[in-house]
Amino acid sequence: MAAVIHTQGLVKRYGKVRALDGLDLDVEAGQIHGFLGPNGAGKTTTIRVLLGLARATSGEATVFGADPWRDAVAIHRRVAYIPGDVSIWPNLSGGEAIDLLARLRGAKRHDRGYTAEKERLMEAFQFDPRKKGRAYSKGNRQKVALIAALAVPAELYLFDEPTSGLDPLMEVMFRREIARVKAAGATVLLSSHILSEVERLCDRVSIIRAGRIVESGTLADLRHLTRTEVSFEGTDASAAAVIAGAHDVVAEDGRVSFTLDSDQVAAALPELALLQVVGLRVNPPSLEELFLRHYGDDLAALEGNGR
Amino acid sequence: MTQLRVLLAQRLRRDWLQLTLWIAGTVGLAFAGYGGVADTYGTEQDRIGTLAAVMANPVILLFRGLPSGADESALLVFLLLPWLAVMGSFMSTFLAVRHTRGDEEIGRLELVDATPAGRWAPTVATLVHGTLAALALGILVAASFLAGGAATEGALLVGASVAAVTLVFLAVGMLSAQLMRTSRGANSLAVWILIATFVLRGIGNAMGTPSDDLTRMESSWLTWASPFGWGENTRAFDENQWWPLLPCLAAFVVLMAAAFALQAVRDVGGGIVPERAGRAAARGALSSTTVLVSRLSAPSTVGWMVGGLLTGALSTTLGKVLDQVAGENPTIADVLRSLAASGDLEQAVVVVFFTMVGLFAACAAVQTVARARQEEAHGTAEAVLATPVQRVRWLANFLVVGFIAILLTCAAAVGGAALGATGDDAGPELLRAAVVAAAGQVVAASVFLVLTALVFAVAPHLTIPLGWTLVSVAIVLGLFGPLFDFPDALVNLSPFAVTPQIDGDGVDLRGLWWLVLAVAAGGAASLVLMRRRELAPEG
Ligand SMILES: Nc1ncnc2c1ncn2[C@@H]1O[C@H](COP(=O)(O)OP(=O)(O)O)[C@@H](O)[C@H]1O
Ligand SMILES: [Mg+2]
């Protein structure tokens, strides 16, 4: 499949800060690609470079095979973007802002299709278009950008933390829209620091840390790298030691817990049955765990400071 | 208490450059004025003659203070005090709104409100911050008079008057920030109050009773309805009355109390004056950045056009009155001629007023480009530039709309001049002078348009402060330079000072081609540099 986004050794410096430090990212056509990292990891900077709003210090970046700095306008014709921190014009109503942005992206003034699509989205996201921009909350500003982005079809959607500020009901709506654009064959790059969101929506994930991609692959690939967590009631850790492939066995708070390589879970079940364990829990590997593998030392440092 | 200190320190850090420039400008005006008055109105006879002429002329009283005797310092106070107070008042209204409603509107205040600093601390911190700024201004104005050799009590009283009026407008700003939901709304309400009370005071003085020797005026009751009127009635270097400062302090306390009371009854983010609902969908026209930029700039441009219209109308009506004044007082005639460089007196008046028009036009232009920076800092530019809109074209839109704002402001002024000249024998002549002056001012104002755009392309973070500073410097050089006898080379640095003028039957082009060259080069350079620049959001 063709790469829609390709970066290699991408570096972006702001003064002394290396916001991007050799970023290698590949997103292929039709993927919903999760772009995961905590605040300050460089997600927004990456997207700005991909849109030609920021200029890379060094390295290579292409979108649809074109250089985003030089061919920004050509790329923008095929892209829809939701900024991480949406702001709208204080003296334009929400409806006016949506129409303006959609028209700049190519919607025709009296296009019935566009109007119908906009109405549908405003209904779905329960958006009141008549208020003036300054009266909108963060969530509502987010909706302006969402509706303007989704009402005009695009080949590539760049979403920078699109659900921050949306309530859970709206998040469900957002997921439906993602499913819709995926079905239409579009590519999506979805930046987020919310693991569950990425886990639900994306078929590939790249984890960014301090301006570099530290892990990238399908969810299944990544799960493979992680262990399943198993625990049962008990106080005697040696009970679990007999199970083949068990790691990190501990007894704590009245439970014995250990981890298994994910492909050995089935094999361990008979042994657990023999032990006649009570209160068995099997937690499948989560992105969270994977994420913490890369950020665990940061977490430890933070906890250290907290003490 | 510590929270208050933190918030206060944050305000001082955010404002120090802006306040320093503002205060230095005001004090500089006072200081320069001192030398100027000594030169222009050297003898007591000159000053008595000038005051007598002024008494007969309501329009001059509109723009100057309260005549209080022929003492040299008192005359300077007459000429300058209202303007010093106006500068201070603008400083404090903007300061008040910036740190209250401005922060609240963008949600920054919510962050602070949620901390132990609580709901009141930011307002109190702004009050203290504004008070300190007003006091600093007052002390420095007093010091500049003392440095010029003026009497001590008078100097202190001038400083106190400026500080007192500045404080009143701090409270006006705080109150409008409570009333309106947006900082824009609050700023315009406060500025309208400022302009209205300034005019009120001028009319009140014009309707007053002159003394027998025509060197002093008793204000009529109208003047007493205005903080500027209270400040003037201290009559520094004359009677040295301190009590008119009491109403200033009373107004300050009452308005402040009202602001706190309103804050107590409203929600964070809410206002007292309700908002109107907007359109559900955009009009067909709102489909390009050109239209967007025009729409964003329209309200302020209309404001500058009104200013242009009024100034234009004054320029042709005033000539007649001044002719008469100048007949009695050759010094005034000289001053006007020195501003106008050539031509007869009525035409000279037109030229002087059109310098003011050029200034308005430049402000309209700077404001338009400043809006590009606001769009960028605020984040709306990012949304637009992520669509198929070229960066260079986007900036060009602001340049074009800014140029149109200049044209409209100058055209409104010519319209006003035509209105004012109807029925005057010399009408056609005056109108010709007005058209030539207006055309010249279009070019001069365009210099500020491209300079600000250039700053925007090279150092985006400095666009707003530097753009306005450039205009202010040019104003001081162009308008006050000839009055205070700055060297020619310095005065001619101001584009307003080198525009074409009527010269007998012909037109003296003066620096026109230089200005045109500067506009073309600056405009092109800003666009070329914009191509190479990435977006620079705030922070
Ligand atoms: N315009 C800028 N100027 C200076 N530093 C910046 C700028 N934009 C981002 N940075 C820095 O680059 C790093 C990455 O930021 P960002 O891309 O916004 O992260 P994320 O979106 O993942 O939270 C941060 O350390 C941030 O402070
Ligand atoms: Mg971000």
Query: Is the CB of B379 less than 8 angstroms away from the CB of A87?
Result: yes
How far apart CA A151 and CA A95 sit, in angstroms, is: 12
Residue B536 amino acid letter: A
Pocket lining: A14 vs ligand 1, CB cutoff 6 Å: yes
Q: Which residues of A205-218 are buried (b: 16+ CB within 10 A; e: fewer)?
A: bbbbbebbbebbee
The pairing of beta strand A156-160 with beta strand A79-82 = parallel
Chain B partners within 8 Å of A115 (Cβ):
281
How high is the pLDDT of residue B339?
59
pLDDT recorded at residue B39: 72
> Ligand 1 centroid vs A222 CA: distance in angstroms?
27
DSSP state of B68: B
Name the pTM for this structure: 0.75
Is any atom of ligand 1 closer than 6 Å to the C-beta of A192? no
Residues from chain B contacting residue A61 (CB–CB below 8 Å): none
Residue nearest to atom 27 of ligand 1 (CA): A40
- With 80 as the cut, is the pLDDT of residue A126 above it? yes
**CB of residue A37 inside a 6 A radius of ligand 1:** yes
- Maximal C-alpha separation, chain A: 73
For residue A182, report the distance from its CA to the centre of ligand 2, in Å: 23
Token pair 């919510």 is at which residue? Answer: B110
Ligand nearest to the CA of A207: 1
For residue A262, the model assigns a pLDDT of 73
DSSP string, B382-448: HHHHTSS--HHHHHHHHHHHHHHHHHHHHHHHHHHHHHHHTT-TTHHHHHHHHHHHHHHHHHHHHHH
For residue A71, report the distance from its CA to the centre of ligand 2, in Å.
24
Q: Which of A91, A99, A105 sits opposite B286 (nearest CB)?
A: A99
Residue in A219, A191, A212, A187 with CA at minimum distance from that of residue A285: A219
Helix (H, G, I), strand (E, B) or coil at A23: strand
Cβ contact A2:A28 at 8 Å? yes
Ligand 1 atom having least distance to the Cα of A41: 22
| Confidence label for A287 from pLDDT (cuts 50, 70 and 90) | low
Q: Coil, strand or helix: which one is A247? A: strand
Ligand 1 centroid distance, CA of A31 (Å)? 26
Read off the pLDDT of residues B483-492 as tens digits, 9 standing for 90 and up: 667 777 777 7
> What local confidence, expressed as pLDDT, does residue B337 receive?
64
Q: What's the distance, CA B354 to chain centroid? A: 16
The nearest CA of chain A is from the CA of B107 a distance in Å of: 9
Question: Is the CB of B103 inside 8 Å of chain A's CB atoms?
Answer: no
* ∠ CA B266-B270-B272, rounded to 5°: 70
CA distance B286 to chain A (A): 6
Is B278 close to A103, i.e. CB distance below 8 A? no
Residue A1 scores a pLDDT above 60: no
Ligand located closest to A161 CA: 2
Torsion region of A218: left, alpha or beta (phi above 0 gives left; psi -120 to 50 gives alpha): beta
Residue A86 has pLDDT above 60, yes or no: yes
User: Is the CB of A83 inside a 6 Å radius of any atom of ligand 1?
Assistant: no
A34 lines ligand 1 (CB under 6 A): no
Of B279, B284, B534, the CB nearest to A53: B534
Question: Which residue, by CA, sits nearest to atom 2 of ligand 1?
Answer: A14
pLDDT of residue B22: 87
pLDDT tens for B461-486 read: 999 889 988 888 887 787 677 666 77
Q: Are A161 and A198 in contact (CB under 8 A)?
A: no
Report the C-alpha gap between B436 and A261 in whole angstroms. 87
The answer, yes or no, to whether any atom of ligand 1 lies below 6 A from the CB of A65, is no
Residue nearest to atom 14 of ligand 1 (CA): A42
Query: Which amino acid is present at B259?
Result: A
Other C-beta atoms closer than 10 Å to the C-beta of B323 total 15
pLDDT at A307: 47
Q: In this prediction, what percent of chain A has a pLDDT beyond 90?
A: 53
Identify the pLDDT of residue B145.
Answer: 92
Mean pLDDT of chain A: 88
Query: At which residue do the structure tokens 């669509």 appear?
Result: B387
Substitution target in A103, A115, A143 with the highest count of B β-carbons within 10 Å is A103
Taking CB atoms and an 8 Å limit, are A104 and B281 in contact across chains?
Answer: no
Angle between helices A138-151 and A112-124 (to 10 degrees): 150
Higher-confidence residue of A32 and B110: namely A32
Pairing of strands B217-218, A247-252: unpaired
Q: Tokens for A214, please give them.
A: 């530290």
With a 6 A CB cut-off, is A44 part of the ligand 1 pocket? yes
Ligand 2 centre to CA of A191 (Å) is: 8
Q: What is the pLDDT of residue B510?
A: 82
Regarding the beta carbon of A296 and ligand 1, being less than 6 Å apart is answered: no
Task: Tell me if B386 and A94 make a contact (CB, 8 A cut-off).
Answer: no
Q: Which residue of B has its CA nearest to A75?
A: B388
In contact, A156 and A4? CB cutoff 8 Å: yes
Cβ-Cβ contacts under 8 Å, A92 against chain B: 278, 282, 295
Residue B262 to residues B190, B268, B404, Cα–Cα distance (Å): 16, 11, 41
Which listed ligand is nearest to A82 at the C-alpha?
2
Instruction: Give me the residues of A, 114-173, that contact B with CB < 8 A.
Output: 115, 129-132, 134-135, 138, 145
What stretches in chain B show pLDDT beneath 50? Answer: none
- Check pocket membership of A40 for ligand 1, CB cut-off 6 A: yes
| Structural domains of chain A ordered from first start | 3-223 (3.40.50.300), 227-284 (3.30.70.260)
Domain locations along chain B: 1-273
Atom of ligand 1 nearest to the CA of A161: 21
Q: Distance between CA B416 and CA B409 in Å, rounded?
A: 11
Over residues A147-175, the pLDDT tens digits come to 999 999 999 999 999 888 888 889 899 99
Identify which of B278, B380, B389 has the shortest CB distance to residue A132: B278
Interface test with A, best of B294, B380, B532 (most A CBs within 10 A): B380
What tokens appear for B510 in the block? 């003066």
CB-based contact, B296 to chain A, within 8 Å:
yes
Residue A281 has pLDDT above 50, yes or no: yes
Q: Is A19 in the pocket of ligand 1 (CB under 6 A)?
A: yes
Of A77, A110, A129, the CB nearest to B280: A129
Q: Nearest by CB to B383, which of A99, A101, A109?
A: A101
**Ligand 1 pocket residue status of A280, Cβ below 6 Å:** no
